[in-house]
Amino acid sequence: MNIHPAAIVEGGAQIAENVIIGAFVYVGKDVAIGPGTVIQHHASVEGHTILGENNQIYPYAFLGGQTQDLKYGGGQTGLRIGDGNIFREYVTVHGGTQEGSVTTIGSHNAFLAHSHVAHDCTVGSHVIMSSLSALAGYVTLGDYANIAWNAGVHQFCRIGDYAMVAASSKALMDVLPFMLAEGRPARTRYFNKINLERNQFSGAAIEHVKNIYRVLFHSKARRSEVLGLLRQREREAPEIYGKIIFAIENARRGFC
């Protein structure tokens, strides 16, 4: 281990052998840090937090802090983080609210400076949260999603896989997979074509998403009729249609 003498690592913390901990870092007694992780100066990791491998934590980031939810009445909550994540300066990620609840973050995500993940959120993998963006409590953020600069997501919303909330937007309802929402409040403006191209979706797959967007947002059919149309074509691209159908059927707050 490479632990700076000015760091504070409380007894009980589990630190892998090749972890690097910089000056003035604080690591709490219930923290477990996986191999290859680097925690730069002045960062803090506390609470019942488990970090996987090869995470990069930049100065002044704060992981595992107590929830800001006023309903919190004590008890053991936690934070679970996968591998290969980047937490830039002043990023904050809080633990859960109720006894035994956790905030969960997948792998290979980038949280840019001053972004915030609140209590009880579930964040997938390959996500980008830009500077000053924030998730309220109980938000679910899908794989390859993008929350742009200064955007906010309301409690209990779901942002689907490969979806985007544009800069300075306010998402008050779910954003369906593959879609791009913008505005205050956010509305679905188009499908997230650039994200699909960057992730090497085929031309045929992108055309399916485009057709779904047209059916959902540019037809006068009722929702039940739209779901019927989508189910009829689900066999053509089950991974795409299946995600959309599931998201519509499980949109507790409705969708943008």
Measured in residues, the chain has a length of 256
Of 43, 56, 182, nearest to 110 by C-alpha is: 56
Asked, as a colleague might, if the bond just before 185 is cis with ω within 30 of 0, I would say yes
Residues marked active site are found at 119-120, 137
| Residue 243 near residue 178 (C-beta atoms within 8 A) | yes
**Segment (H or E) for 2:** strand 2-3
d(CA 247, CA 1): 44
Give the Å distances, CA to CA, from 196 to 8, 148, 162, 192, 206: 44, 16, 7, 7, 7
- Distances in Å between the alpha carbon of 225 and those of 7, 64, 91, 216, 229? 60, 45, 43, 10, 6
DSSP 138-193: T-EE-TT-EE-TT-EE-TT-EE-TT-EE-TT-EE-SBB-TTEEEEETTEEEEEE-H
Backbone phi and psi for residue 246, each to the nearest 5 degrees, phi listed first: -60, -45
How many CB atoms are located within 10 Å of the residue 198 CB? 11
